[in-house]
Chains A and B, each alone.
Chain A
Amino acid sequence: KNQVEQSPQSLIILEGKNCTLQCNYTVSPFSNLRWYKQDTGRGPVSLTIMTFSENTKSNGRYTATLDADTKQSSLHITASQLSDSASYICVVRPQRGGSYIPTFGRGTSLIVHP
């Protein structure tokens, strides 16, 4: 069964600090891995996407890494801002024909305090 596990479940950090969120998956073979940011009460918004051949991708202060051998990904947030407070969701899309149903992690809730 395809699974995506994220840790920690929740995280509180001070503004300006860095943090790293983890994502472990069992989806195999997989097509791509995405990190989404979901503000409270809103739909998720894509931050990064990586295929199995990529091991790092940056989007501003967000840097995602991928180790396809260990099936692990991380999202590193640098110099956190109050607006980074949100849920961060790891999504892995399997490599197969048809509709490419992705597997979603439960997300990490990040709170940035001033």
Chain B
Amino acid sequence: SQTIHQWPATLVQPVGSPLSLECTVEGTSNPNLYWYRQAAGRGLQLLFYSVGIGQISSEVPQNLSASRPQDRQFILSSKKLLLSDSGFYLCASKWGTGGGYTFGSGTRLTVV
């Protein structure tokens, strides 16, 4: 079974500072990887997804970027954080066509 490691669990960053959230997957190879953001009281919003190394698709224009330097590593970044970037960020993995999504434990980001 898949296991997703996501860190850090909580992060408080000042406006204008850079961001790097990392997600690694165990137990599978060549998964589809996803970054979601969940604002308070809102549903999950898909930010980026990747079907392979170096392949990134963005679902919404924003201040964030994603990279996939290795098969089981997915990184969410920003050069300069905005207050509106605050939220709960979830990394998800999907392997194969019939399975569901496995989620990481999430990162609570607060931009102050």
Q: Are B51 and A41 in contact (CB under 8 A)?
A: no
Known: A99-B51, A99-B57, A100-B97. A45 touches B46 (CB 8 A): no
Q: Are B108 and A41 in contact (CB under 8 A)?
A: yes
Q: How large is the interface on B (under 10, 10 to 19, 20 to 34, 35 or more residues)?
A: 20 to 34
Which stretch, B13-21, B66-74, B75-83, B99-107, touches the partner chain A? B99-107
Nearest CB in chain B to that of A91: its residue: B101
Q: Are A43 and B44 in contact (CB under 8 A)?
A: no
Question: Given the complex of chains A and B, what is the CA–CA distance between A43 and B43 in angstroms?
Answer: 13
A42 at the interface (CB under 8 A from B): yes
B110 at the interface (CB under 8 A from A): no
Q: Are B49 and A101 in contact (CB under 8 A)?
A: yes
Q: Point out residues on B near A: beta carbons under 8 Å.
A: 4, 6, 32, 36, 41-44, 46, 49, 51, 57, 59, 88, 90, 92, 94, 97, 100-101, 103-106, 108
Q: Point out residues on A near B: beta carbons under 8 Å.
A: 4, 34, 41-46, 49, 89, 91, 99-102, 104-107
